[in-house]
């Protein structure tokens, strides 16, 4: 798959690390008013915002002919897009300095950039430090889409192993990429912003292969945090108000034996209540992921979601819905650890996009 734009210099190639270069040009800090963020960022130091969840976006316009991005060393992988062209992957890994060229030799004028953090950053703690534009140039305003979605999920929503091509391939940071997920693709097709709260292995009450009684840390305990596994920073829900929230959980709760149906239902109800308390006017959709199949996990998860939806309806909340992805069969290949392949994610987007378009009248 090509990830190269002909207008880009070599540092924008797929898999190429950030380069240690002298920051020639005009440095624009991360708190510039023309930079807009989508996703949960911890910005108590506004010149060095931090994120952990995948899918966080950095958007801006810029003038001139080139653009560089600055980030903390070892911040991981990002996808970048210039002027709506083909997205390409850049990395900030194990470098003494972290400056990467995103574009060069552009026509002199106003351009647009979108950068997405595509990994799971709870260990790396990615830190964006701003852009470098041509000397004497500046950033320019950009407009965000009015439509807003929130995706709450697990490894499927994170993009675990989506760039791998073998089902038995191990987890690697290099093959995880949220950009290629059903969630990111659906948001692009609907021209919507997307807030992502997701972590591989997490469940609504019980994480992957966890005890029947549940795990003390799960999506219900982490949903309110700005940074995953960090209680010091509570997310300000007034910063982003989605029109629709998609909850794609339950795969890890039920994929190994021992799930307690009652506790699973309670987990869904608690998460629904959290979401509804913060977004009183949003539509909420429980999704059944494509990895759930068979006689145990699929019916157990479906019944819990159906019951949670029905209970909400009985209590007067009619804006709670259900949607099932088609279970994967392998005909579209697999990503790492039997996760959905890129083609499977495209199929999921093919299914979810028209559903949300109709539901939201978009």
Q: What is the pLDDT of residues 246-273, one digit of tens each?
A: 999 999 999 899 899 999 999 999 999 9
Residue 254 is part of a domain; what is its CATH number?
3.40.50.1110
pLDDT, residue 17, reads: 47
Residue where a domain terminates, one of 86, 111, 140: 140
195 and 342 housed in the same domain: yes
Structural domain includes residue 151:
yes
How much is the average pLDDT of 68-80?
96
Q: What is the domain extent for residue 35?
A: 10-140
pLDDT digits (tens, 9 = 90+) for 138-166: 999 999 999 999 999 999 999 999 999 99
Does residue 5 form part of some domain?
Answer: no
The domain boundary residue, chosen from 107, 140, 173? 140
Residues 179 and 298 in one domain: yes
Same domain, 240 and 343: yes
Task: Examine the fold and report which residue of 108, 123, 140 is the final residue of a domain before the chain moves on.
Answer: 140
Average the pLDDT over 214-237 and give the result. Answer: 98
Question: Using one digit for the tens of pLDDT, what is the confidence trace for 17-68?
Answer: 445 445 689 999 999 999 999 999 999 999 999 999 999 999 999 999 999 9
Dihedral angle over CA of 2, 58, 234, 183, nearest 10: -40
User: Per the structure, how many domains does the chain have?
Assistant: 2
pLDDT digits (tens, 9 = 90+) for 191-220: 999 999 999 999 999 999 999 999 999 999
- Convert the pLDDT of each residue in 109-128 to its tens digit: 999 999 999 999 999 999 99
Mention every residue, 6+ apart, whose C-beta is less than 8 A from residue 90: 11, 12, 16, 18, 69, 77, 78, 79, 80, 100, 102
94 lies in some domain:
yes
**Does position 10 have pLDDT exceeding 60, yes or no?**
no
The pTM is what? Answer: 0.93
Residue 152 shares a structural domain with residue 287:
yes
Do 135 and 152 belong to one domain? no
pLDDT at 223: 98
Whether residue 336 sits in one domain with residue 201: yes
In a domain, 210, yes or no: yes
Do 204 and 300 sit in the same domain of this protein? yes
Question: Per the structure block, which two tokens stand in for 18?
Answer: 């950030």
Per-residue confidence (pLDDT) for residue 96, from 0 to 100: 62
Specify the CATH number for the domain of residue 131.
Answer: 2.60.120.260
Asked if residue 4 belongs to a domain, the reply is no
Is 351's pLDDT higher than 70?
yes
Query: Is position 23 within any domain?
Result: yes
Q: Which residue spans within the chain are E strands per DSSP? A: 26-28, 36-38, 57-64, 67-71, 76-82, 88-92, 99-103, 109-117, 128-133, 139-140, 147-153, 192-198, 244-248, 283-288, 320-324
- What is the DSSP annotation of 54-119? TT-EEEEEEEES-EEEEE-TT-EEEEEEETT---EEEEE-S-SS-EEEEE-SPPSEEEEEEEEE-S
In a domain, 77, yes or no: yes
Asked whether residue 227 falls in the same domain as residue 347, the answer is yes
**290 and 154 both lie in a single domain:** yes
Q: Are residues 232 and 354 in the same domain?
A: yes
**One domain, residues 180 and 119:** no
Query: Hey, what's the torsion of the CAs at 113, 119, 123, 124, to 10 degrees?
Result: -30
How sure is the predictor about 234, in pLDDT bands with cuts at 50, 70 and 90?
Answer: very high
pLDDT at 22: 52
The reply to whether 308 and 179 lie within a common domain is: yes
Mean pLDDT of all residues in the chain? 93
Answer yes or no: is 2 within a domain. Answer: no
Which are the contacts of 167, defined by CB distance < 8 A and separation ≥ 6? 330, 334, 335, 336, 337, 338
- 293-315 pLDDT, tens digit each: 766 678 999 999 999 999 999 99
């Amino acid at each position: 798959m090509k990830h190269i734009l002909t207008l880009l210099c070599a540092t924008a190639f797929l898999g190429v690390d950030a380069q240690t270069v002298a920051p020639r040009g005009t440095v624009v800090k991360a708190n510039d008013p023309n930079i807009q963020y989508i996703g949960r960022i911890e910005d108590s130091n506004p010149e060095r915002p931090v994120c952990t969840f995948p899918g966080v976006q950095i958007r801006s316009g810029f003038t001139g002919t080139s653009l560089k991005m600055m980030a903390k060393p070892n911040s991981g992988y990002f996808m970048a897009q210039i002027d709506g062209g083909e997205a390409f992957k850049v990395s900030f890994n194990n470098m003494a300095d972290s400056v990467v060229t995103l574009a060069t030799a552009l026509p002199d004028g106003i351009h647009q950039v979108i950068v997405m953090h595509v990994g799971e950053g709870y260990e790396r703690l990615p830190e964006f430090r701003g852009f470098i534009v041509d000397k004497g140039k500046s950033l320019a305003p950009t407009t965000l889409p009015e439509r807003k979605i929130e995706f709450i999920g697990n490894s499927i929503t994170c993009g675990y192993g989506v760039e791998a091509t073998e089902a038995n391939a191990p987890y690697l940071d290099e093959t995880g990429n949220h950009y290629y997920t059903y969630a990111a693709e659906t948001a692009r097709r609907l021209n919507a912003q997307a807030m992502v709260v997701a972590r591989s292995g997490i469940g609504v009450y019980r994480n992957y292969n966890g005890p029947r009684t549940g795990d003390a840390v799960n999506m219900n305990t982490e949903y309110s945090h700005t940074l995953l596994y960090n209680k010091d920073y509570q997310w300000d829900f007034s910063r982003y108000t989605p029109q629709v929230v998609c909850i794609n959980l339950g795969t890890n709760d039920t994929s190994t034996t021992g799930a307690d149906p009652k506790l699973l239902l309670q987990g869904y109800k608690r998460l629904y209540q959290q979401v509804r308390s913060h977004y009183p006017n949003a539509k909420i959709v429980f999704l059944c992921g494509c990895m759930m199949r068979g006689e145990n996990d699929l019916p157990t998860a479906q019944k819990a979601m159906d019951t949670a939806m029905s209970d909400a309806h009985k209590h007067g909340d009619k804006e709670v819905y259900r949607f099932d992805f088609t279970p994967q069969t392998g005909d579209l290949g697999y990503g790492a650890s039997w996760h959905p392949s890129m083609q499977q994610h495209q199929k999921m987007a093919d299914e979810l996009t028209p559903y949300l378009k109709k539901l939201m009248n978009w």
